[in-house]
Each structure stands twice: as C-alpha cells, then as structure tokens.
C-alpha cells in the first residue's frame, strides 16, 4: 500500500540506520566519519535498534571485558533488529577457524570490517539498504576526513572534539593486540590534520584533544616528510604540529590537549609551547610501569628513558605541567620488590592523575605466554594498593590549588549557571580526570554558559574534583 506521500510522487522516507559506538576516542573518531558519510548520503539515524533498517556496531577488542561488551551488543542488535554490520577493532580479530571471531560467535551478521574502514562499511550498507536518492542531499560533498570538522558529525559535546592524527602503532608491547588489529603507524598528512583542526575551531570547538596510539611518533612512518598547509611547507612532526595547532587555538581562544605521549627526548621540545600557553601544560603519558625489568618484559617504548629525570626537567621547564598516566599492576613475573619500586616511583614522580588496571590477559597477546602469571587476587590487591598511593598523591596535589584562580571550560550550566554548574580546568581531560564543581556566582550579573570559559577561584578540593567560585 502506498502512503499519501509516495502516491503524490514525493520522496520515500529516508532509510534509517541504528548506530552503537563502543571503545576509545580513536574508535569514536571512526564512528564520526561513518555517521558523517551516512548523513551526507541521506540516511537517517535511529535511536532504537527495532526502528532501524539496519544497525552498525563499532566495536572494541582491547581487553576481554570490551570484547564481551561488543559481542553482547551485537547479540542484542541481532535479536532486536536482525540486520547488523560490525566494524572496529574486534572486527579485525581472527576466530579459531580462520574467519573472524565476530562471525564465529554471530554467524548472522551481514558484514564485518576492521577499524578505520568507512568505505567498506558504506559499501556493506549500500548492499543491504540501498542509498536513498535525493537530488538535494546528493549535492552534499563527500565526508572527507580533512573537512570532517566542517561538515562532520561529532559524538562529543559541541565544545570539544577528539582529533586522531595517526592510526596504528610500530611498537609491540607484549600485553597489547592493537598493532595486530590496526597495523603499523600511519600518520595523517599534516595539511589534512591542520585543515580539520581549523574547521573544528571554526565550528565552535573550544578544546581539541589530540589522540593516536603513539602521539610522540607522529610522522616517523613518513620520515617527518614536509607537507603543505596554507601554502607553506610544514614538517609532519610532533613539534611542528603542536606549534601550528597552538597558533590556531590561540586565534580561536581554544585549548589543545595532548594524549598518549611517550617520554622520548624530543617531547622536551614541546615544553616551551606549554610554558608559553600555546598548548595546555598537560601530558598524558602511559608509563604502565616503572621498574626497568617489568618494562622490558612489557617491551614498552621509551622504557630506557630516565623517566624521573625527564619529569623533573619537564617540571623545571613548565612548573604548572600536569601529568596523567596509566599503569598495570600484577604483570606476569612482577615481584613484590618490582611492585614496590612502582609505588616509590609514583610517590617520587608525583603523577597528578594516575589510573591503574590489574593485569588481565588479552586473547592473542604475547604476555600470555610469559612465565610467572600472578593469581587474580594478587593482581587486584596490588591494584588497590597502587590506587591508595595514587589517590593520596593526587589529593595532596589538588590541595595546592586551593586559593588559585583557574580558567574553567564549562561543561554543564543549567539555568545559565545561576545555581552553579560543572567544568574542567587545564588539568582535567573530559571523562578520565576530575572536574571543577562551580558554585553559584556571587554577582547576579554573572552567568555560565556551556562551551564558554569562566575564571573561578578554587575554594576546596573534594575527591578527584575541585570546587570553584566563578569570578
């Protein structure tokens, strides 16, 4: 039976696609590309599985819990909708019989791709739900990675965005299967990255979060090739990237925050940019451990660097620098002495924000074959001991902020912040760090708006958070 619209010759309703994005910020940027392309082609997105013509699940395959969550979500989508395309890291994982793990567990999925596969995903969508023809929408330019900020869909709030500068990784850490899933390092051309950053700032982004598997290695794969941007030569290298991003951010009154930076000597070069306020004095350095023998067993990059000395030099060059890191407790063969060494490092290094995982074997990782696997209870116990020290260090460092005046980017401000709100200072990355709880402004004329900056006087610290009075 035809609807009144179709009998009058109007376009049929646009096909709808349900979308679930799991995993890390790098997976999120893949999701944004696919959603942008879907929109550019005239598909609509559906909030429910049942109401969609098909469902795309962007999966994570990093640790066993993430694999389980991804497989469960695929199962739910199959049960409620029946037509499911799978993409992302888990899609690249091989099963036992030669195909993919996803197809082994869920043979009814329509298609499976690995990460960073917008075109393959779109090809699969076209096969199962033909592309709508709309003469207006067909004029919308293709969603190109370099212009994503202009025409693209972002899954983050309007005022901050993750920007992926490279894909893959040249390291082979023994606990990690990412290189197997995402391949070796491939750096995006610097001109594309800078065009995208400019477009993001122009669209209102006030905080750009630079992500990759190994941000300090940017450009290594292309031997720091000289690219072009704005008609000028620019090297594909971390320092030049930070310098140019810093200039762009300054022109738009915005922040640039770096994630996943390994402590190589050349990272020292960007400290002056931080000290000068061009990029945030914040470094997310995934140390994972401190003891040289454990780092060797982990095959960690930059494990030979003198990390305590490096941190001291960074703090000398930029006293306000905030260091975030993640660690693994209970790695195979970790002795009590090695673990104690890690706790001492944490104390001495004064890591502002530290997260810790109890070691958990990941299917396919080389560390599974290492001798000296520790019982789960011991791994958990060490994690708890680690976190107790980490929290004490972090709390003491937060106390030192009381009385300071800080710039805060407002994330929440109901009723224009008349009763207060919540935001973050340069020391807080979204979702992984603390926040600044903003009190109601004393001046009746002062309002708070999401996505804008306010200055706040820090009046207290509570847990991982600070409390600030907008001024």
Q: Output 39 or 171, the one with its CB closest to ligand SF4.
A: 171
| Minimum distance of ligand SF4 from residue 299's CB (angstroms) | 8
Q: Output 355 or 451, the one with its CB closest to ligand SF4.
A: 355
C-alpha to C-alpha distance for 152 and 57, rounded to whole angstroms: 19
C-alpha to C-alpha distance for 407 and 425, rounded to whole angstroms: 6
- Does the CA dihedral 239-242-247-250 come out positive or negative? negative
Q: Output 301 or 423, the one with its CB closest to ligand SF4.
A: 301
Q: Output 176 or 390, the one with its CB closest to ligand SF4.
A: 176
Q: Output 112 or 328, the one with its CB closest to ligand SF4.
A: 328
Determine how many CB atoms are found less than 10 A away from the CB of residue 344. Answer: 14
| Minimum distance of ligand SF4 from residue 297's CB (angstroms) | 13
C-alpha to C-alpha distance for 453 and 407, rounded to whole angstroms: 7
End-to-end CA distance of the chain: 63
Which structure tokens are listed for 331?
Answer: 């790695």
**Residues near 160 by Cβ (< 8 Å), separated by ≥ 6?**
205, 206, 207, 208, 209, 409, 430
| Minimum distance of ligand SF4 from residue 176's CB (angstroms) | 3
| Minimum distance of ligand SF4 from residue 328's CB (angstroms) | 10
| Minimum distance of ligand SF4 from residue 318's CB (angstroms) | 24
Q: What secondary structure letter does DSSP report for 246?
A: H
Q: Can you tell me which residue has the tokens 């929109």?
A: 39
| Minimum distance of ligand SF4 from residue 173's CB (angstroms) | 3
Q: Output 213 or 425, the one with its CB closest to ligand SF4.
A: 213
C-alpha to C-alpha distance for 359 and 111, rounded to whole angstroms: 33
Q: Output 42 or 179, the one with its CB closest to ligand SF4.
A: 179
Q: Can you tell me which residue has the tokens 């320092």?
A: 239
Within 149-194, strands assigned E span 160-164, 166-167, 186-187
Report which secondary-structure segment, H or E, holds 397.
helix 376-399
| Minimum distance of ligand SF4 from residue 468's CB (angstroms) | 34
Give phi and psi for 95, each to the nearest 5: -90, -170
| Minimum distance of ligand SF4 from residue 288's CB (angstroms) | 8
Q: Can you tell me which residue has the tokens 């003891």?
A: 291
Q: Output 326 or 373, the one with its CB closest to ligand SF4.
A: 326
Whether residue 17 contacts residue 41, with contact meaning beta carbons closer than 8 Å, is answered with no
Q: Output 184 or 230, the one with its CB closest to ligand SF4.
A: 184
DSSP secondary structure of 190-204 = HHHHHHHHHHHHHTT
Residues that bind ligand SF4 (CB under 6 A): 169, 171-173, 176, 178-179, 213-214, 301
| Minimum distance of ligand SF4 from residue 69's CB (angstroms) | 20
Q: Output 34 or 178, the one with its CB closest to ligand SF4.
A: 178
- Does the CA dihedral 313-317-320-321 come out positive or negative? negative
CA 72 centroid distance within chain: 22
Alpha-carbon dihedral angle through residues 164, 167, 172, 173, given to the nearest 10 degrees = 20
| Minimum distance of ligand SF4 from residue 331's CB (angstroms) | 12
């Amino acid at each position: 039976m035809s609807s009144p619209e179709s009998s009058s010759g109007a376009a049929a309703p646009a096909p709808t696609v349900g979308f679930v994005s799991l995993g890390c910020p790098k997976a999120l940027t893949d999701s944004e590309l696919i959603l942008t392309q879907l929109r550019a082609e005239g598909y609509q997105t559906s909030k429910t599985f049942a109401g969609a013509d098909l469902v795309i699940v962007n999966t994570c395959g990093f640790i066993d819990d993430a694999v389980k969550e991804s497989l469960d979500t695929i199962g739910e989508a199959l049960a409620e909708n029946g037509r499911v395309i799978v993409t992302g890291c888990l899609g690249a994982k091989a099963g036992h019989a030669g195909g993919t793990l996803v197809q082994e567990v869920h043979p009814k999925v329509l298609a499976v791709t690995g990460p960073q596969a917008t075109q393959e995903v779109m090809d699969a969508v076209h096969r199962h739900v033909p592309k709508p023809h709309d003469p207006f929408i067909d004029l919308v330019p293709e969603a190109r990675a370099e212009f994503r900020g202009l025409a693209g869909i972002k899954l983050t709030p309007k005022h901050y965005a993750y920007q992926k500068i490279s894909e893959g990784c040249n390291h082979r850490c023994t606990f990690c299967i990412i290189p197997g899933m995402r391949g070796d390092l491939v750096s995006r051309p610097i001109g594309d990255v800078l065009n995208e950053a400019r477009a993001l700032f122009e669209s209102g982004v006030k905080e750009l979060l630079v992500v990759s598997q190994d941000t300090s290695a940017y450009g290594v794969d292309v031997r720091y090739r000289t690219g072009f941007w704005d008609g000028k030569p620019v090297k594909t290298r971390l320092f030049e990237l930070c310098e140019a991003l810093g200039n762009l951010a300054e022109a738009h009154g915005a922040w640039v925050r770096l994630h996943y930076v390994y402590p190589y000597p050349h990272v020292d070069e960007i400290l002056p940019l931080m000290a000068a306020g061009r990029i945030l004095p914040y470094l997310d350095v995934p140390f994972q451990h401190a003891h040289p023998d454990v780092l060797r067993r982990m095959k960690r990059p930059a494990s030979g660097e003198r990390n305590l000395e490096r941190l001291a030099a960074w703090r000398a060059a930029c006293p306000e620098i905030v260091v975030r890191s993640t660690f693994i407790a209970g790695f195979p063969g970790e002795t009590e002495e090695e673990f104690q060494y890690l706790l001492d490092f944490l104390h001495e290094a004064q890591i502002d924000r530290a997260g810790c995982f109890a070691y958990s074997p990941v299917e396919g990782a080389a560390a599974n074959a290492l001798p000296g696997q520790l019982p789960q209870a011991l791994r958990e116990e060490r994690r708890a001991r680690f976190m107790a020290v980490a929290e004490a260090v972090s709390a003491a460092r937060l106390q030192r902020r009381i009385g300071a005046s800080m710039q805060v980017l407002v994330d929440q401000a109901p009723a224009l912040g008349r009763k207060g709100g919540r935001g973050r200072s340069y020391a807080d990355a979204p979702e992984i760090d603390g926040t600044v709880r903003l009190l109601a402004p004393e001046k009746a004329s002062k309002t708070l708006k999401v996505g804008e900056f306010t200055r706040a006087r820090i009046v207290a610290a509570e847990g991982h958070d600070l409390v600030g009075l907008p001024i």
